[in-house]
Structure 1
Amino acid sequence: MASIYDFEAETLDGRPAPLSAYKGQVVLIVNTASKCGFTRQYEGLEALHRRYRDRGLVVLGFPCNQFGQQEPGDAAEIASFCALTYDVDFPMMRKIDVNGPKAHPLYAYLKKAKKGVLGTEAVKWNFTKFLVDRDGQVVGRFAPTVEPKALEGAIEALL
């Protein structure tokens, strides 16, 4: 059976990031954007990261410019924005597509593993969240309107 561990990403600074490095951890994967109405969720995502990282949670941010062109920056601009505006310490990956023919293979997997409303697969907007258990299986998908704090119960159940 496939899991997130079968995929690799690239960090904002261009280093390979095999998701197998997160084996045994609970992972929250989020497509992010710096100029979105939900951008303030970086604060809540960072709070989750800091509160639960010692118990085995990792938050992974995947910048995406597919929704309203709300992530126009390059890797350096994204890194600077995240660090200076929200003091983001969780891993941030290179900008990717989450939908369409150029969708990152991880997102193709996530969308099939946990479908959205009415069985749809496409990610609808920035800050859609996928929760993955310690075995690399997708156990939850949360809409952009779901605040990070609201995920605490689901995260605690997996820790």
Structure 2
Amino acid sequence: MIYIDNRQDKIEVTNKLVEKVEEIINYALKEEEVHISTEVSVIFIDNENIRELNKEQRNIERVTDVLSFPMLDYSEGQVYKEVYEHNNFHDADLHEGQLILGDIVLSLERAKEQSEEYGHSFMREVCYLTVHSVLHLLGYDHMIDEDKIRMRKREEEILENFNITRN
């Protein structure tokens, strides 16, 4: 189950955008071998609110594009399919039979700015940020070079297979 909550009024949230976000999340989960019913929340906000959240949660007072709040614990360097391949979840990980993966908080305002800055479509930027965040929910990270290379490769593979390019 994917919950999408629009808490901003600067960028129009169309049905096409919502459908594409849901589709890319489902596709990324399938590609990452998540074979259990899941729950993911996506919250669209603006730059001011993501700056405040970034300060509260990470002690970084600046606008960012997306924040991820994973609910599962991973050891350093491990990802979902390495840890949970046999669906060995704790009861606390499940809500009414669904695995709670976590929350994605995405600034649509920043996504729009970045799409213009990088010269590709707004939809491509939102899809990229969504895949990036889903991978965070599944244990991927980019704090050290080795992990960053692994995560970037996976992002591009999913987007390419989903037929989303930089154009």
In the superposition, the TM-score normalised over structure 1's length comes to 0.31
Q: By percentage of residues, which structure has more helix? A: 2
In the superposition, the TM-score normalised over structure 2's length comes to 0.30
